[in-house]
Structures are given as structure tokens and as C-alpha cells.
């Protein structure tokens, strides 16, 4: 939980063809809009793909100053706890920086901070249950990986406002 944040955007960065970057805007501690941002050209350079995603992630709500951003931050784990290609984390770190640019406030959260060691399917079911309880019904992608990215963008926001169980 981040005490003073009530209006912000939470972001789960990713840019592979299968998932993308999930995001959710919270206003007065309630989710109001969520979506998925993907690169248009997955074969483009890293900087081009990141810029394509940045342009699809909202930065303001109702005009005024840029929204504070809470972004999931990647962590390199030692030895046998590693998952996937650790070099991909460098690209995701670059994407984090591009998404943070221009914000007056940025908070980075490690995945372990907001979701612990909960299996992905259990975590996403909890996020969906919270959404149902609150009547938040964003349009979610049908593809499982893309849907998961949006749900995790929402889940990060629920953690920030202290409603992720």
C-alpha cells in the first residue's frame, strides 16, 4: 500500500507479441479505466517498440497534471530461481523508463511486493473477484496472456490502495 496515492495509473510492463503492457487508472482509490498497450511492429528496434507502447498508455485523467505512475519493476534472481532469459529484463527496464518519463511521481514495485508467491491463476482469480465486488467491468482481451497483463495492471493498483488480498 502507498498511503497518499489515490489517483494514479498502475502499469504491468511487457511487450512481447503474446502479452503487452497492462494498465489501470485509479481515481479516488477506485479503478475507472483499464487497457492493454502493445507495439505495432514487434520487429522494430527496442526504442521504437517502447515508444509505440508509451503512446497507448494514458498519462492524464481529466486534464491537469500527469498521473503518478506505479510500475512493476523487474528483478534478476540468482541461480536456480531465474526464470526465462535474464537479458529480457534489460529491455523491460528500458520500457519502465520510457513509461515513467514525464511523470511527476513514479513508484516502482517488485512483483514479490504486490503479489508475493501466489500462482498466476490464483492471483488473477483474486483480482477478478475484487473487480466483481466493486462492479468494475473493463473490456478485457480474450487471449489469456493479454488478459493476464491487464488483470495484473489492475492488481497492482488494488495493492497500492490496500485492497489486494
Q: What is the pLDDT of residues 70-108, one digit of tens each?
A: 999 987 767 666 666 667 788 899 999 999 999 999 999
| In-domain check, residue 55 | yes
Q: Across residues 55-78, what is the average pLDDT?
A: 89
Which residue bears the cell 511527476? 104
| In-domain check, residue 38 | yes
Which residue bears the cell 492524464? 60
Closest listed residue to residue 25, CA positions, set 16, 37, 15: 37
| In-domain check, residue 2 | no
User: Using an 8 Å Cβ cutoff, are 59 and 163 in contact?
Assistant: no
Q: Residue 122's pLDDT is what?
A: 95
Q: Residue 80's pLDDT is what?
A: 65
The CATH number assigned to the domain holding 13 equals: 3.30.420.10
| In-domain check, residue 139 | yes
| In-domain check, residue 78 | yes
Q: Structural domain tally of the chain? A: 1
How far from 122 is each of 103, 115, 118, 125, CA to CA, in Å? 32, 10, 7, 5
Mean pLDDT, the chain, whole residue set: 91
pTM comes to 0.92
Q: What distance in Å separates the CA atoms of residue 55 and residue 26, rounded to the nearest whole number? A: 19
Closest listed residue to residue 12, CA positions, set 121, 163, 145, 165: 145
Residues recorded for the chain: 165
| In-domain check, residue 142 | yes
| In-domain check, residue 35 | yes
Residue range(s) defining the domain that contains residue 129: 8-160
Q: Residue 82's pLDDT is what?
A: 61
Residue 9 DSSP one-character state = E
Q: What is the pLDDT of residues 4-14, one digit of tens each?
A: 899 999 999 99
Question: At residue 112, does pLDDT exceed 70?
Answer: yes
| In-domain check, residue 1 | no
Amino acid at each position: 500500500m502507498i498511503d497518499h496515492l489515490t489517483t494514479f495509473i498502475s502499469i504491468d510492463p511487457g511487450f512481447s507479441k503474446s502479452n503487452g503492457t497492462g494498465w489501470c487508472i485509479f481515481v479516488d482509490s477506485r479503478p475507472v479505466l483499464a487497457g492493454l498497450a502493445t507495439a505495432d511492429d514487434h520487429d522494430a528496434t527496442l526504442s521504437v517498440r517502447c515508444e509505440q507502447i508509451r503512446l497507448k498508455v494514458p498519462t492524464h485523467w481529466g486534464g491537469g497534471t500527469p498521473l503518478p505512475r506505479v510500475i512493476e519493476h523487474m528483478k534478476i534472481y540468482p541461480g536456480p530461481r531465474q526464470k526465462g532469459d535474464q537479458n529480457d529484463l534489460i529491455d523491460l527496464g528500458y520500457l519502465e523508463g520510457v513509461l515513467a518519463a514525464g511523470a511527476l511521481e513514479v513508484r516502482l514495485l517488485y512483483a514479490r511486493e504486490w503479489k508475493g508467491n501466489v500462482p498466476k491463476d490464483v492471483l488473477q482469480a483474486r483480482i477478478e473477484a475484487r473487480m466483481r465486488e466493486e462492479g468494475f467491468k473493463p473490456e478485457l482481451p480474450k487471449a489469456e496472456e493479454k488478459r493476464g497483463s491487464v488483470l495484473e495492471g489492475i492488481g497492482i493498483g488494488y495493492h497500492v490502495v490496500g485492497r489486494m488480498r
